[in-house]
Amino acid sequence: MANHGTNPRHESLHKVSISRIKKEMADVFYLSDDLVIAALDAANTTVADYPATVDGFLAIVMMSGEATVSIDLKNHTVRSNHIIVCSPDSIVRMVKCSSNASAYFVAFSKSFVDGIQLDLATSLPVFMRFGKAPVIAVTPQDVDEIRQVFQLIKTMLRSDKERYRSEIIRSLFTTAFYIMADLNRRDPAGPQAKPGRSEVLFEEFMALLQQHNKRERNVGFYAERMDITPKYLSTVVKEVSGKTAARWIDDSVILEAKTLLKYSGLSIREIAAQLNFSTQSFFGKYFKQHTGTSPSLYKRKG
């Protein structure tokens, strides 16, 4: 057990990469270093005397038995039909598990999530909910639906359909995400909880962002609309979501750009104008800075 007189972020904290998980877990299925799926049971699950962080998101779907998992220093007892979701840099430790415990384990990188077309209105409540309450109780039918999607992902990870395999897997993962979004909507511990002032301001910021992200990329614009300072807006947004206001703005603009490049049929020059970039060249530099690829190459890949 961790010593409560020390800061576990600095003492005995192990950082685990998805690449390491891929190499060390048994019966593992993976997509490069971006996605790992494995089955867990009491025989291959280590009860750790130290906390760890993973450089990506974690999802654990309990199939049977019982376990105690510490997440950010708080113990959670999870049983069959419980789902755990942890964001990057969460401090996680397996405290104990029963001899009949079994689960599906999924780890996926931030870049994998960035490559999926998820609208902010759907994804935001999910990320916010699990950031505060990482465990959700669901029905056996819910678990079976998620298990079947994971099984399809595992099948495609071993498939010989190499040309479109990544796209198929991302589509299936998107399916799993929208199932989780629906479960989050039904869960009384989630959206019905009364938000504090920071959450209210964050939701106001996100509503403004969805309305103006095609025209405005400056934090100051949104802060002025909310009658607060840019510094305070950035502090609140970072506190609530773990990402800065500027990062949310960039992410939303890039999501709009990807959608237009992929589905609109507009030229890159027309898309740059629609997103209020002064020139096509400026748009190209902005897009490449945030995605690592050019708009033309992204458009050609479809």
CATH number of the domain that residue 268 is part of = 1.10.10.60
pLDDT average, residue stretch 82-111? 88
Given this model, what pLDDT does residue 1 score?
A: 35
Q: Quick check: is 5 in a domain?
A: no
Q: What's the chain's Rg over C-alpha atoms?
A: 21
Q: Are 145 and 252 contained in the same domain?
A: no
Q: Are 143 and 178 contained in the same domain?
A: yes
Q: Quick check: is 4 in a domain?
A: no
Q: Which of 186, 219, 246 is the last residue of a domain?
A: 186
Q: Determine contact, residues 176/146, Cβ cutoff 8 Å.
A: yes
Given this model, what pLDDT does residue 181 score?
A: 86
Q: What is the mean pLDDT of the chain?
A: 85
Q: How many CA atoms lie within 13 A of 101 on its CB side?
A: 26
Comparison of pLDDT for 187 and 198, the residue scoring more = 198
Q: Are 124 and 67 contained in the same domain?
A: yes
Q: Are 178 and 159 contained in the same domain?
A: yes
Q: What is the pTM of this model?
A: 0.66
Q: Are 98 and 223 contained in the same domain?
A: no
Q: Which of 186, 220, 247 is the last residue of a domain?
A: 186
pLDDT digits (tens, 9 = 90+) for 215-239: 999 999 999 999 999 999 999 998 8
Given this model, what pLDDT does residue 282 score?
A: 96
Q: Are 130 and 202 contained in the same domain?
A: no
Q: What is the CATH number of the domain that holds 152?
A: 2.60.120.280
Q: Which of 159, 186, 213 is the last residue of a domain?
A: 186
Given this model, what pLDDT does residue 6 score?
A: 40
Q: Are 34 and 138 contained in the same domain?
A: yes
Q: Quick check: is 9 in a domain?
A: no
Q: What range defines the domain where residue 74 resides?
A: 14-186
Gap between the Cα atoms of 44 and 21, Å rounded: 13
Q: Quick check: is 55 in a domain?
A: yes
Could you tell me the two tokens for 83?
A: 């789902």
Number of structural domains found in the chain: 2
User: Please, which pLDDT band fits residue 11 given cuts at 50, 70 and 90?
Assistant: very low
Q: Quick check: is 33 in a domain?
A: yes
Given this model, what pLDDT does residue 175 score?
A: 92
Q: Quick check: is 1 in a domain?
A: no
Closest CA to 116 of 214, 258, 19: 258
Q: Quick check: is 272 in a domain?
A: yes
Q: Where are the beta strands (DSSP E) in 22-175?
A: 28-31, 35-41, 52-54, 57-64, 66-71, 74-79, 82-86, 92-97, 102-108, 135-137
Q: Are 203 and 176 contained in the same domain?
A: no
pLDDT digits (tens, 9 = 90+) for 237-277: 988 877 899 998 998 899 889 888 987 889 999 999 999 99
Given this model, what pLDDT does residue 2 score?
A: 36
Q: Are 22 and 171 contained in the same domain?
A: yes
Q: State phi, psi for 237 to the nearest 5 degrees.
A: -65, -45
Q: Are 249 and 171 contained in the same domain?
A: no
User: At residue 8, does pLDDT exceed 60?
Assistant: no
Given this model, what pLDDT does residue 146 score?
A: 92
Q: Are 29 and 125 contained in the same domain?
A: yes
pLDDT digits (tens, 9 = 90+) for 130-169: 777 899 999 999 999 999 999 999 999 988 888 888 889 9
User: At residue 7, does pLDDT exceed 50?
Assistant: no
Q: Quick check: is 106 in a domain?
A: yes
Q: Are 31 and 105 contained in the same domain?
A: yes
